[in-house]
Amino acid sequence: MTYGSRGTDSEASKGEQSKSRGLFDFVASIQVPHTWFTHYYVVSVASSIFWAFQIYTHGPVFEFLASYSWSKDPMTVNQVFLAWLFMAFQGTRRLYESLTLTKPSQSKMWVGLWLVGMAYYVFIGLSVWIEGTGMFFLGSPSLKTCIAVPMFLLASSIQHTCHKHLASLKKYTLPQQYWFQKVVCPHYTSECMIYVAIAIVAAPPGQWLNKTVLAGLGFVASNLGVTADSTRRWYVKKFGAEKLAGRWKMVPYLY
């Protein structure tokens, strides 16, 4: 999904549109400020707080979901806690970055993208623990935990470093430090790594990945993959193909 500097010029688009366009064209033309991305992380943090309260108090919403949820091998208490903690930390860090690192911009994005993103963060906050509604035992730290925790911390550190670097650049400058030397969008790579870590730590016994979280990862990866492709094409157009030589779009040695 394209937006910001890679998006379509809204004024040019309006000139090309016919006044006789129907409802779908009207909806497709609705745009909101790109800075509304911050709303995603407000929703993410609010979701984490809400579910923490519901789980801790066995609130009515939690009890309702638990009554309709069943798993032969539910997540343990420590899995639920770590999965929730990872998601809460990710949302809080991204909210902090959005408030402190985002520069004022006139960029726009389609309102549908904004709404889909809001819905995603509502449901991903639920998906990280929903398979643990039948939890009754604590469990010991597993190999999956030992893999997921370092992966999550490393990916979070990489993404934060990338966002700080992007925020330090002048407008429409080609990033060239750190992981940007080899990957066009390493902050997208780390975003996917974060969700892989959550999928691992939330995996039920006998499985290496939580399929519910994995579905969320698929949504994130597909959207970021499209954006990474459009970002690279925009860089090539503005700075020349030689400047992008040897750089992968998002996943080293794969994409």
In a domain, 12, yes or no: no
Assigned domain for 31 exists: yes
What pTM did the predictor assign?
0.70
Any domain includes 1: no
Number of CB atoms found within 10 A of residue 18's CB: 6
CA distance 180 to 187: 9
**pLDDT by residue (tens digit) across 25-34?**
777 778 888 8
Radius of gyration of the chain (CA): 20
* Structural domain contains residue 194: yes
Stronger pLDDT, 16 or 126, i.e. the higher one = 126
What is the per-residue pLDDT across 75-121, written as a single tens digit (0 to 9) for each? Answer: 777 788 888 899 999 999 999 998 888 777 778 888 888 899 899 99
As for how many domains the chain has, the answer is 1
> Which domain does 73 fall in, by range?
23-244
Give me the pLDDT at residue 183, please. Answer: 92
Pairing status of strand 108-110 against strand 31-33: antiparallel
Q: Is 254 among the domain residues?
A: no
172 within a domain of the structure (yes/no): yes
For residue 239, pLDDT beyond 50: yes
Please, what is the average pLDDT of the chain?
Answer: 82
Query: Where is average pLDDT lowest: 76-90, 137-151, 163-177, 236-250?
Result: 137-151
Q: Count Cα neighbours of 31 within 13 Å in the Cβ-side half-sphere.
A: 18
Contact criterion met (CB below 8 Å) for 9 and 107: no
Question: Which of 147, 151, 128, 153 minimizes the C-alpha distance to 204?
Answer: 128
Quick check: is 16 in a domain?
no
In a domain, 47, yes or no: yes
Statement: residue 12 has pLDDT above 50: no
